[in-house]
Structure 1
């Protein structure tokens, strides 16, 4: 596999720890990591199809009845007895593989993110910490016994605090919460996002949905890639899942490498990304 050919987009079916040592230092301008969150449970997503049936309980147009049948199941086990022996070696490779002007985005939730901050401070140096981004959403299960958890945290680190690339002019803008307090010109243009991103999850009925568990919305990835890389730069996702980074990179003119150990993930990426990337499987992929 020619890792030096930066003109190719790659989707690699393999355990990322088998792949990463083969990639040369400084290969990527932006690395996005969305590892398993160590939730302690299996993550599942059923694929459903609605069909007409005389025994169906859903009533549609003309009084016809329908039922939903399960056509497939995607799942992975999100339980690690020693989570940091799993994640830390991959973070070490992320540091090595970042270009000198590169940026890492590590996406976690409340379970492990505080430990990750300490680990990345040690690995990168505290001076290389750029941001803690809060992605806030309002969907999913509720509880009345505590404040419902409705955000993820994205830690942002740079390889060199004096050389990293960041172009705020390329980032989408947001409406002002109080547009009457700014000029009409500013209100029409919108404001730059802060470190709190209000963005819906992938809609269960939207066009973006692939059916893959834990799929992240393109809007979140687009901000990262647009701000922290340039057209033609190479970006990577070592836990690629449904391939959101690849889909965003295609639209923004970046070259990408997506790696995942799941056969289901690679199947989803083939459908989503088409024939443009080169698809590679190492001798003993998982799935």
Structure 2
């Protein structure tokens, strides 16, 4: 894990060292991205003896269970074109009543099941500025470095949204060649994007490019499978095995109150990264993410037996990653311990060295490894022709 400006850091890494590179750069939304940890606990004066079968039964104070994954985001992205309330709408007024008034709840408390009161406790606020005067002056040099760092059979996954992904396709076609374009993955999710003036945007796009369009790794047998929509129309063997996922991935976001949360503003789900790592790398391969953020790429790589390098310059991202990934041979490289970037002549065809801001961790295997990996020499994966 390297805490550094990422362009400078990746320039010190060896050519062709990484079987898989996943990049989730800022989306250039034009606003500050923030996320605050939120914990919901039972108010101390709540009913201490819940009835059997109540949601709070068997749960001690201060330990309200996390909701199921897929719960709606309580703080979705605001509508960029919000609609004003109807001008004739009257403010809501509490109706007069002679009944006994409810007890006053403390600020921030919520009224839950059976009238019980719950406190919302705000934790650490994480954020970063996601606004660039010239986005492509920032991103293009880093994509050029990604091309250099890919193994000859390696794969790049570039994760963006509707704002910049179409420009990225043009740039990557020029850099890799159009024949090296493998897929456009649509990750569809279930939160935010409320709008009355356009179709709400509820997906991100992941562009997939291979360095060699003839010889690259794609492990269709190793990825998680999906159930058939009409299981009665396939053989029992196929029904049991499931089918290869398509290029549209339905996967919930990381719930702000779920067990997977780290509090980082743009954390991606482990399930999405797990599928990417399964498909495009093998055990022992090196995986690189130099916009590492919350470290989900490293978490997926470690779970699947891959080695990884994470880079980010945001101190908050480093704090989150260290808490999430310390141990098991993970090495932290501080800013003053980084090797100097190598100076190289610019290759032909626009493959000049680029610029990158990086903070990350290099996860070593069983025996000790240097902070930044020497060029690994994994066994070449089987050749896989492009499929229709």
Give me the TM-score of the superposition, normalised by structure 1: 0.91
SS at match of 2:268: coil
2:42 aligned with 1:45, yes or no?
no
State the Cα deviation string for residues 85-140 of structure 1 (Å, max 9, x = none): 00001000000000001000000001000000000011111111111111111222
* Equivalent in 15, 21, 24 of residue 31 of structure 1: 21
Whether the 8 Å contact between 2:226 and 2:244 is mirrored in structure 1 is yes
SS at match of 1:156: strand
Q: Which residue of 2 aligns with 1:103?
A: 155
| Structure possessing the higher relative contact order (Cα contacts under 8 Å, 6 or more residues apart) | 2
Instruction: Tell me how far apart the structure 1 counterparts of residues 164 and 199 of structure 2 sit (CA, whole Å).
Output: 18
Instruction: Tell me how far apart the structure 2 counterparts of residues 150 and 183 of structure 1 sit (CA, whole Å).
Output: 35
2:217 aligned with 1:186, yes or no?
no
Call closer, same or farther: CA 1:176–1:61 in 2, change over 3 Å.
closer
Q: Which residue of 2 aligns with 1:166?
A: 218
- CA positional deviation for 1:61: 8.1
2:348 aligned with 1:279, yes or no?
no
Instruction: Tell me how far apart the structure 2 counterparts of residues 161 and 49 of structure 1 sit (CA, whole Å).
Output: 48
Instruction: Tell me how far apart the structure 2 counterparts of residues 144 and 174 of structure 1 sit (CA, whole Å).
Output: 34
Q: Which residue of 1 aligns with 2:141?
A: 89
Moved more, 54-63 or 247-256: 54-63
Task: Decide which structure has greater strand share.
Answer: 1
- CA positional deviation for 1:261: 0.8
SS at match of 2:22: strand
2:6 aligned with 1:16, yes or no?
yes
2:306 aligned with 1:254, yes or no?
yes
- CA positional deviation for 1:181: 2.4
Whether the 8 Å contact between 2:38 and 2:257 is mirrored in structure 1 is no
Whether the 8 Å contact between 2:291 and 2:358 is mirrored in structure 1 is no
- CA positional deviation for 1:178: 2.2
Q: Which residue of 1 aligns with 2:69?
A: none
SS at match of 1:170: coil
Larger Rg: 2
Task: Decide which structure has greater helix share.
Answer: 1
Q: Aligned runs of 1:130-169 on 2, under 5 Å?
A: 130-169=182-221
Moved more, 50-59 or 96-105: 50-59
Instruction: Tell me how far apart the structure 2 counterparts of residues 130 and 123 of structure 1 sit (CA, whole Å).
Output: 14
Q: Which residue of 2 aligns with 1:211?
A: 263
Instruction: Tell me how far apart the structure 1 counterparts of residues 224 and 117 of structure 2 sit (CA, whole Å).
Output: 43
State the Cα deviation string for residues 144-171 of structure 1 (Å, max 9, x = none): 2211111111100111112211110000
Q: Which residue of 2 aligns with 1:266?
A: 318
- CA positional deviation for 1:62: 8.8
Instruction: Tell me how far apart the structure 2 counterparts of residues 163 and 260 of structure 1 sit (CA, whole Å).
Output: 31
Instruction: Tell me how far apart the structure 2 counterparts of residues 60 and 132 of structure 1 sit (CA, whole Å).
Output: 43
Give me the TM-score of the superposition, normalised by structure 2: 0.68
Q: Which residue of 1 aligns with 2:106?
A: 55
Moved more, 176-185 or 237-246: 176-185
Whether the 8 Å contact between 1:55 and 1:66 is mirrored in structure 2 is no
Task: In structure 1, list runs of 5 or more residues that go unmatched.
Answer: 1-10
Call closer, same or farther: CA 1:286–1:232 in 2, change over 3 Å.
closer
Whether the 8 Å contact between 1:263 and 1:286 is mirrored in structure 2 is no
Instruction: Tell me how far apart the structure 1 counterparts of residues 307 and 270 of structure 2 sit (CA, whole Å).
Output: 16
Q: Aligned runs of 1:211-230 on 2, under 5 Å?
A: 211-230=263-282
Q: Which residue of 2 aligns with 1:7?
A: none
Q: Which residue of 2 aligns with 1:125?
A: 177
Aligned pair count reads 277
